[in-house]
Amino acid sequence: MPGTKFGYSLKKGSGIESNKLRYALLVMIPIFLLYLVLRIIPILGTFYLSLFDWNLIKPRRPFIGLKNFINIAGDKSFWLAFSNTMIFTVFVVVISVLLALILALALKKKTRIGGLYEFAYFLPVVIPMVPVSIIWKWMYDKTYGIINYLLTSLGLTAVGWLTDPNIALISIIIMSIWKVLGYYMVLFLVGLRNIPEQYYEAAVVDGANSWQVFRSITFPLLKRMTLYVSVIATIQALNVFTQVYVMTTGSQGAPLASVRVLVYEIYQNGFRYFKMGYASAQVIVLFAIVLTISLIQFKLLRTED
Amino acid sequence: MINRVFKYKFPVMLSHSLLLFGVFIMIFPFIWMFLTSFKTEQEILRVPLTFLPLGPTFENYVNVCSTIPIFRYFINSLWVASVGTLFVLITSAFAGSVFAKYDFPFKNVLFVIILGTTMIPFECYMIPFYLMISKAGLIDTYTGIIAPLIITSFGVFLMRQHVASIPDALMDAARIDGCGELRVFWNVIIPLSIPALSALAIFNFMFCWAFFVWPLIITNSADHFVLEVGLTIFQNQYTIAYGPVMAGTAISVVPVVLIFMFFRRHIISGMAMSGMKE
Amino acid sequence: MRNKKVAMLLLLVLVVFSTMNVAQVSAKSKKISVWIGWSQLMPVYQEAVADYKKKTGADVEVLAFPLREFERKLAVSLPAGNAPDIFVTSEYIIPQYIEAGFVSEPPKAITKFINSSFDPMTLELNTFNKKIYGVPQIGIARILYWNKGLFKQAGLTDAPKDWNELVEYAKKLTVYDDKGKVVRTGISLRKFGGGSGVTEKFQIFLAGAGGNILTKTSNGKWRAAYNDEAGRATLKLYIDLIHKYKTDSFDTKQDTEAFALGHTAMFIREVWPIPYFKTTAPNISFGTTTIPGKVAGKSGTVYSTESAFVPKSSKNAKAAWDFIMFFNEKKYMRMMLEDIGWPVPRTNIDFSDIYKREPAYSAAMERPKGYVLSTYPPIAPADEIWTKLGERLEAAFRDSSLVDNPTGIKKVLDDAAKETNKILQDNGLY
């Protein structure tokens, strides 16, 4: 078509189209610049560092190419962190997203008491992660935490929530689900409230039961929000750090090996051992993992955008 | 007759009781934190544990307020979180709506880049970021503290998903009426996005409020401390002073709860908007 | 509508500007900044700061952060030139900063003061390339705590003097419920939590057996030394106490908190629990003593120091050193010991009345004949070695198959030594 460039119409005559393009560029260019300065450049800085052997403090910084990555391949600690993180992610994402959806559906209608429910389910999200981890660490205490206190008073045996290496990861999974559930619930509520009431009214008139309503009306229209929630839930789960850090410090802490996660591994290598180049390489591997999984999710939950 | 009651009331009662059980689990740790903040240190470590404080004491709150200039820290946190959230709302709304409804060169590439930057936690590129801020002379300034908080891909992504569902016809109608794109944004997109923007405002405010690693690294004077950094003084290498930590947290949670309650109304008000006919 | 747009734009500009202005307003006033990694020390610093202001009119700002966060902040800020005027850190953290040229030497008068005010061990720990850079503030020897009340109940009158007694006493002091589960441990060993801390406590017993984690070779390099006879005996001690005689448990409360609740009769720690128990467990009657060695009369413990340094980048160096000297006066050093429970290794301050009032402190200052002070080596990968060894030890401590299993014990330590030596090799220190 004559007068077009990149398929976008720049002809003076088509006023609205060129307005739109101009507006889009006017908005996106500053935004892109912000991203460039605040995200892209520092991240590229990290990518760059991964090619070096840098101690953070020493001015000496020898170039070692891909040696850091080769070392990662043989680092047992890293792969243990990888498997722990994957297990953590699968459980937390699947359970919390499903539960959040169910909750949002249940609370969609009840408006007055629903408000109180929403508030209660959102409360865990509101408390910062560090105090939350301290509270849970304490509640999980084997002999004197309140959870075992309740279990034993019901005649069940006490569980070593954080001290038993086999259970420690599960305990952190439970606590993490507790923390994010309200967040995803609110997002689903926003998505649900976007669905016009008329659709539901029409369905009732047609005699559909609740499962059919969900399947043919709610779920398809909720797909966009579901994609969003799954993607951010996955990203956040793969990047888990603070709760593991708090729960493993100190003499009452959980055994590290059973709950070691990728970002903790990066933190330890970067800030405890000062192997910044190596830690940066690990960041890249983590990024590759997260990117791959997210792209898969996009493909699976594709919407007709 | 009985069958109908059974079929109708039972599932409702069941769902209510499950929800209530869930509520209990959700808020219990919060209540525990609250009750603990009113106990003495000795009572907190006592075995067997007490549920309600034996003789409720305000000593933890007094301790927190007298050990650290909590009002100043509070204001700092409020400032950082408010400015950060304001910027996030603006940048997310603009970027998200443009991604959803406009075309431009390299659009998909840019979206993947923006989404990609969110896949790495800030801590992982904090060092290069710090060096950049240091060279810019912004160490220990509010601008430096807020810098990483003014954009978030979560926000852009959320607005994109949300705005995509706004009917094109509405926007075209506005254009035919003579609105420029900016006015279309202001008159059409924003009003229909209030629920999503409110959710974003809450989440972002909360995130900024709890953000403490970066402020800790970058602030070098006590009067620039945000609340979460100020409260770390009660966690030391060997023990945690549970009482003051719980009291400090209780204080720090209040504004976020208030913000949530304020914005929640706007999320609900979205219901009225959803009845719009095509 | 256009007005609204303009108004919003103005608001935006206003916001951005005020952000920056507020920053400028709270600009750098001429004050001395101090960073420490121990918030417990704040009361002493605050008193010194107030007195210093009265005396000289100068402002001092002390910032305390949790230790790991403090170390992280220091690592990021110092190389970037954003360091404080004074920072206090340990002798195993400072070497890499000195090597990188970020730390300044004290003025001659202060160096003289340092050389005449501390014991040889403390001075040696703080000497790098024959120079001293910081003023030692604290020197902590780990000690053994024992619960006098529980000992009396078990018919024991004094703390154990060697490993044999340690094991026997632990056996007598452990209490089981009717199902055979440990309800009160005879001793609470550091079995997990915080990687390097586990290694450190292991190192204490190791010193008592005449061993060490690393040893320095004749050409100034280092090698893993804990997989020798002494190391195997130490691991065996742990396994025996935990699994063979069941005098310690993973299921009970641990360490300091356990002792405060009367849930253990013995444990090993720094000196800070002494004032801690005063507030949290005033009813526990306890004693402290030097660590029992494998053989009576030959023992040791871990000793580490924290010193005050001034970075080269400081613009207030003169004032900074002046404040350090002020802070090191008798009044504040005594407060450190008496109020906070942090011993100060000064040879020219009299603490004897404090020891009379609180005899528990003296165990930390006792250096009986044959008592070895084991330390962290001043090498960069120390933390990595200690932490990775700690993780291996954590796993070993859980392994009940190591009971009466000298081959198993040998393998655990040999495997760990391989990893340690590799780390040393990677750092050119092997």
Contact indicator for C175, C260 with CB cutoff of 8 Å:
no
Which segment, A214-223, B37-46, C11-20, C320-329, is predicted with the most confidence on average? C320-329
Q: Per residue in B193-237, pLDDT tens? A: 888 898 899 889 989 999 989 999 999 999 899 999 999 888 876
A-chain residues near C76 (CB < 8 A):
56
Q: Residue C173: inside a domain, yes or no? A: yes
First to last CA, chain B: 41
**Structure tokens, B167:** 């009917």
Cβ contact, residue pair B141, C15, below 8 Å: no
In a domain, B5, yes or no: no
Encode pLDDT of B233-250 as tens digits: 888 767 777 888 889 988
* Between residues C73 and C427, the one the model is more confident about: C73
Q: What is the pLDDT of residue B274?
A: 37
Contacts with C1 from chain B: Cβ below 8 Å: 183, 186
Indicate whether B168 belongs to any domain: yes
- Taking CB atoms and an 8 Å cutoff, what residues of chain A touch B125? 39, 42-43, 45-46, 283
Q: A274: nearest CA in chain B?
A: B127
Which residues in chain B are closer than 8 Å to C260, comparing Cβ atoms? 45
Contact across the interface for A55 and C380, Cβ inside 8 Å: yes
DSSP annotation of A52 reads: B
Checking if the pLDDT of A300 tops 90, the result is: no
Q: Alpha carbon of B76 to those of A261, B73, B83, B257, B259: distances in Å? A: 32, 5, 11, 18, 16
Query: Phi first, then psi: what are they for A98, rounded to 5°?
Result: -60, -50
Q: Are residues C153 and C240 in the same domain?
A: yes
Name the more confident of C208 and C30: C208
B152 pLDDT above the threshold of 90: yes
Lowest mean pLDDT among A52-56, A266-270, C352-356, C408-412: A52-56
Task: Give the residue, B205 or A112, on which the prediction is more confident.
Answer: B205
Would the pLDDT of B170 be above 50? Answer: yes
Its pTM stands at 0.88
**Is a pLDDT exceeding 80 seen at residue C409?**
yes
Q: Which domain holds residue B92?
A: 39-273
The answer to whether C189 and C352 are in contact (CB under 8 A) is no
Give the mean pLDDT of C308-336: 95
Chain C: nearest CA to B153, how far in angstroms?
21
Residues of A in contact with C102 (CB under 8 A): 57
Phi and psi at residue C301, in whole multiples of 5°? -150, 175
Render B192-254 in DSSP notation, one character per residue: HTHHHHHHHHHHHHHHHHH--HHHHHH--SGGG--HHHHHGGGB-SS-B-HHHHHHHHHHHHH
Contact partners for chain C, using 3 or more CB pairs closer than 8 A, are A, B
Are residue C260 and residue C395 in the same domain, yes or no?
Answer: yes
Neighboring chain A residues of B117 at a CB cutoff of 8 Å: 35, 39-40, 43
Does residue A257 contact residue C192 with C-beta atoms inside 8 Å?
no
- The CA distances from residue A280 to A271, B107, B228, in Å, are 11, 29, 27
Tell whether C172 is covered by a domain.
Answer: yes
Subunit contact B234:C39, Cβ cutoff 8 A: yes
Q: Which of A56, A57, A64, A142 to probe by mutation at the C interface, max C CB count within 10 Å? A: A57
C241 and C382 housed in the same domain: yes
- C123 plus C242 within the same structural domain: no
Instruction: Tell me: do C121 and C267 sit in the same domain.
Output: no
Say whether pLDDT at B275 is over 90.
Answer: no
Same domain (yes/no): C150, C191: yes
- The answer on C296 and C175 residing in a single domain is yes
Q: How much is the pLDDT for A9?
A: 46
Residues 27..56 of B with a Cβ closer than 8 Å to A: which?
27, 29-30, 32-33, 47-49
DSSP H or E stretch at residue A154: none
Report pLDDT digits (tens) over A30-64.
999 999 999 999 999 999 999 998 888 877 788 88
The Cβ-side half-sphere exposure at C68, using a 13 Å CA radius, reads 20
Which residue on chain B is closest to A237 by alpha carbon?
Answer: B119
Residues C389, C277 share a domain = yes
> B219: domain CATH number?
1.10.3720.10
Is the residue at B252 inside a domain?
yes
Q: Is the pLDDT of residue B147 over 50?
A: yes
Give the contacts of B221 (CB within 8 A, at least 6 positions apart).
Answer: B140, C26, C28, C33, C61
Q: Are residues C339 and C422 in the same domain?
A: no
For residue B117, tell me if it sits in a domain.
Answer: yes
Domain count for chain B:
1
Interface of B with A in 136-195 (CB under 8 A): 147-148, 150-151, 154, 157-158, 161-162, 164-165, 175, 180-182, 195
**Domains defined along chain A, listed by start:** 1-49 (no CATH), 71-300 (1.10.3720.10)
CB contact under 8 A, C67 and B86: no
Residue C308: name the closest of C67, C133, C97, C71 by CA.
C133
Give the pLDDT band (50/70/90) at residue B165. Answer: confident
pLDDT over threshold 50, residue A305: no
In tens, the pLDDT along A141-188 reads 877 788 888 888 888 888 888 888 888 999 999 999 999 999 999 889
Residue C178: inside a domain, yes or no? yes
For chain B, how long is the longest CA-to-CA vector?
78
Residue B87: closest C-alpha in chain C: C12
Domain count within chain C? 2
For residues A274 and C65, what is the distance between their CA atoms, to the nearest angstrom? 19
Q: Do the chains contact at C250 and A160, CB–CB below 8 Å?
A: yes
Instruction: Looking at the structure, tell me whether residues C152 and C243 fall in a common domain.
Output: yes
- Name every chain C residue with its beta carbon within 8 A of the beta carbon of A142: 251-252
What three-state secondary structure class fits A261? coil
Distance CA B142, CA B220 (A): 11
List chain B residues with CB under 8 Å of C38.
236-237
Nearest-CA distance from A195 to chain C in Å? 30
User: Do residues C226 and C100 both lie within one domain?
Assistant: no
Provide the domain limits for residue C82.
Answer: 31-141+304-361
What is the model's pLDDT at position C4? 65
Kindly report the CATH number assigned to the domain that includes residue C121: 3.40.190.10
Asked, for residue B9, whether it belongs to a domain, the answer is: no
C76–B45 CB contact, under 8 Å: no
Q: Indicate if C312 and C295 belong to the same structural domain.
A: no
